[in-house]
Amino acid sequence: MNKYGYRFSFGPWNIHEGADPFGPPVRPSVPFARKLETLKDLGFDAMQFHDDDAVPDLDNKTPAQIAAEAQAMRRLLADHGLVAEFVAPRLWEHPLTIDGAFTANDPKARAYAIERAKKCADIGREMGTNLMVLWLAREGTYLREAKDAVTATHRLLEAVNALLAYDSELRIAIEPKPNEPMDIAYIPTIGHALTIAFRADDPARVGTLVESAHAILAGLDPADEMAFALAFDKLWSVHLNDQNGLKFDQDRSFGSIDLRRAFNQVRVLDENRYWEKGVVGLDVKAIRTQPADLATKHLRNSLATFLRLVEVVRGLDRARIEELRAARDYEELDWLILSALMG
Ligand code: XUL
Ligand code: MN
């Protein structure tokens, strides 16, 4: 933890080999143990997990094997003074879920998805976290007529309810994304995620995770998405990163494309005492051309940018801002913010 009280996390996938849809890996895989050392060395507090990051090949393991491996992972983290922030079910790689998991037309696929997510809840419990992040990767279609969107929406709600009923301590944070891998996503924004949360059987246990790039891809500002969730005490995690316009999900270093947009995310988090509510997760990837031995600087830069922006936010002249708001002198307010950012 740093002097501002924020805790930071990233996932094993954030130190990656650089493969993209048009090219192979460009860096060797980094062993998990080294990723953990890097996490610690860079001043992070927690690791984010997919279920199979913690327990590889879990579909082919017994409940006892899964529990033992999850406990071993918890001990490994504890040996480094670290914890797991959340565990997310990876519902998008199995052949059964090619056309969706909870919203697949095929009942076998839906049953698999629920069972897999229950195993993920078990893994989280063994690893000492009750937070499950649901990134709904394939809950959508490539062709609007291929699924019934109303039925699919009900199926999503039923899946959330089944998980809440399965584990009475589980908390679910829905991470919306408007596209990729599916073209048409059923939960594209925080408003959609919050509707599911408030209609769930136990609304107090369903919240959200805002990822900056996903909001930008939806044509929205991440700070506004965060503010909307914060207004209802439903922002339980964030995936900070940056995004160069409406392209593929780039996961660029936080603040590296639009510093003011990053500033406003930090401002809304800091003004709402986010450090007391959740971990600052980063979901950033190194640029593909970055040499292997230099491919953790995106994590260093993103964390440092966040903390520098906290300083900028806390250094703002609040009284002056109120005066300028009252006078509707937004040009002067604009200049005050730009001056703060330019130093
Ligand atoms: C995908 C994404 C995922 C989730 C976790 O775009 O952001 O890494 O954060 O499943
Ligand atoms: Mn993410």
The SS3 call for residue 87 is strand
Give the H/E segment covering residue 241.
Answer: none
CA of 251 to the centre of ligand 2 (A): 8
Instruction: Please compute the mean of the pLDDT values over residues 217-230 and round it to a whole number.
Output: 98
* 237/226 Cα distance (integer angstroms): 10
pLDDT at residue 330, as a whole number:
99
User: How high is the pLDDT of residue 42?
Assistant: 98
Q: What is the pLDDT, as a whole number, of residue 3?
A: 87
The C-alpha atoms of residue 312 and residue 262 are separated, in whole angstroms, by 12
Q: Is the pLDDT of residue 194 over 90?
A: yes
Cα 316 to Cα 266: distance, rounded to the nearest angstrom: 13
The domain ranges of the chain are: 8-317
224 flagged as catalytic: no
Average pLDDT over residues 105-122: 98
Say if residue 63 is preceded by a cis peptide, omega within 30 of 0. no
Q: What average pLDDT does range 93-99 have in this prediction?
A: 98
Which residues neighbour 330 within 8 Å (Cβ) at sequence distance 6 or greater?
324
Cα–Cα distance, 66 to 55 (Å, whole number):
6
Torsion sign over Cα 231, 232, 236, 242: negative
Residue 114 tokens read as 């629920």
Structure tokens that stand for 205 in this block: 């246990």
Q: 298-327: buried (b, 16+ CB within 10 Å) or exposed (e) per residue?
A: bbebbbbbbbbbbebbeeeeeeeeeebeee
CB-based contact 162:202 (threshold 8 Å)? no
Residue 1 pLDDT more than 90?
A: no
Q: Which ligand is the nearest neighbour of the Cα of 177? A: 1
Is the model's pLDDT at 2 over the cut of 90? Answer: no
Q: Between the CA of residue 115 and those of 90, 159, 197, 222, what are the distances in Å? A: 12, 10, 21, 32
Atom of ligand 1 nearest to the CA of 180: 6
* 41 catalytically annotated: no
Ligand 1 atom closest to residue 211's alpha carbon, by position in its atom list: 7
* Confidence class for position 262, pLDDT limits 50, 70, 90: very high
- For residue 137, the ligand 1 atom closest to its alpha carbon is 1
pLDDT computed for residue 49 by the predictor: 99
Where does ligand 1 bind, in terms of residues with CB under 6 Å?
50, 88, 133, 135, 175, 177, 211, 239, 249, 283
How many CB atoms within 10 Å of residue 24?
8
pLDDT band at 115 (very low <50, low <70, confident <90, very high): very high
Residue nearest to atom 6 of ligand 1 (CA): 249
The CA radius of gyration of the chain, in Å to the nearest whole number, is 20
pLDDT of residue 78: 98
At 280, is the pLDDT very low, low, confident or very high (cuts 50, 70, 90)?
Answer: very high
* 3-class DSSP assignment, residue 131: strand
Mark the residues whose beta carbon lies below 5 A from ion ligand 2. 211, 239, 283
Q: Which CATH architecture is the domain 8-317 placed in?
A: Alpha-Beta Barrel (3.20)
